[in-house]
Amino acid sequence: MAKRALLVGFGGFLPERVLTNDELAVKLNTSDEWITTRTGIKRRHIAGPDDTAASMATSAAEAALAYAGMSASEVDAVIVATSTPDQAFPATAVRVQAALGMKQGFAFDIAAACSGFVYALAMANSFIRSGQARNVLVIGSEVYSRIVDWSDRTTCVLFGDGAGAVLVSGTDAPGESGILSTHLHSDGAEGDLLYVDGAVGRPHMSGHLKMSGRDVFRHAVAKLSSSVDEALESEGLSYSDVAWLVPHQANIRIIEGVGKKLGLNPEQVVVTVDRHANTSAASIPLALNEAVRDGRIKKGELVLMEALGGGLTWGSALARM
């Protein structure tokens, strides 16, 4: 049974197509200034005809395995966080398992909207700590371009497509690195603030994302702040111990607000929302992948991840790299 779960591999995939605010302004009653001022978003990646949740997740997973110097034959489990699966079933994760050539282990999806990666990371940590798995691929993969209403400027400008992956590996060796704690929450009474109007089990619906933006913003500020405090208090740590904040990339004002609460310099907050927009469950692993690969996040540093999404769901994860 492993003592700790380490983050050992990082990968990401972004579709080739880039859609700018100026391009959106041609078709919508909006402008680059309007979008940027309210969200911080300048552009987003849009899935091509051959891009799927499974194909993007597979590419991100392959990059994470390569980073870790491991093969798919060493992976015990694949967990994919997605709100935009390719099919009702089988799970996107089993498609990824097959694409990686895995003949062992287990795979499943988790649906917690934008909080999905934090939820999946918590599950991977539990599997490793309990001895049920040794190496787990945790992936967020989303194609929100296929569920947004492209005539609604209040929602379609906010989202983008992509996938991010982390390989989590158990270790028996002494040390302080690894996932220190995870904290998950939900409030189903607020489920109508952010949802998709339709699914396989509910025909004759639009199938488009619906959001009460102001209410979601209000909940995000309060719940993410409390989640940050919860994570640090659980480990007896203070704001000053945090080296990096890797938040869900939904809105620059929310991101900056949490960063200020922690007393972090802007340089200590990983921001990709300007280039990726909101990629839901993929946003944290995509941001983590970027910051690890460009050398910003270094071994031994304390990283705090947090997210809020439809459900409402929210949570945090604290890890030492």
Residue-wise pLDDT tens digits, 60-98: 999 999 999 999 999 999 999 999 999 999 999 999 999
Q: Residue 44: its pLDDT value, please? A: 98
Query: For residue 221, what pLDDT is reported?
Result: 81
pLDDT digits (tens, 9 = 90+) for 236-269: 999 999 999 999 999 999 999 999 988 999 999 9
Instruction: Give the active site residue among 114, 125, 135, 183.
Output: 114
Whole-number pLDDT of residue 68: 98
Residues of the chain with pLDDT under 50: none
Which of the following is catalytic: 219, 248, 251, 289? 248
Q: Evaluate whether 4-171 and 178-320 have a shared fold.
A: yes
278 is catalytic: yes
User: What's the pTM value of the predicted model, to 2 decimals?
Assistant: 0.96
Give the 3-state secondary structure of the chain. Answer: CCCEEEEEEEEEECCCEEEEHHHHHHHCCCCHHHHHHHHCCCEEEECCCCCCHHHHHHHHHHHHHHHHCCCHHHCCEEEEECCCCCCCCCCHHHHHHHHCCCCCCEEEEECCHHHHHHHHHHHHHHHHHHCCCCEEEEEEEEEHHHCCCCCCCCCHHHECEEEEEEEEEEECCCCCCEEEEEEEEECHHHHHHEEECCECCECCCCCCEEECHHHHHHHHHHHHHHHHHHHHHHCCCCHHHCCEEEECCCCHHHHHHHHHHHCCCHHHECCCHHHHCECHHHHHHHHHHHHHHCCCCCCCCEEEEEEEECCCEEEEEEEEC
The CATH architecture to which 178-320 belongs is 3-Layer(aba) Sandwich (3.40)
CATH 3.40.47.10 fits 4-171, yes or no: yes
Q: What is the pLDDT of residue 310?
A: 94
User: Where are the chain's structural domains?
Assistant: 4-171, 178-320
Whether 248 sits among the annotated catalytic residues: the reply is yes
Is 114 catalytic? The answer is: yes
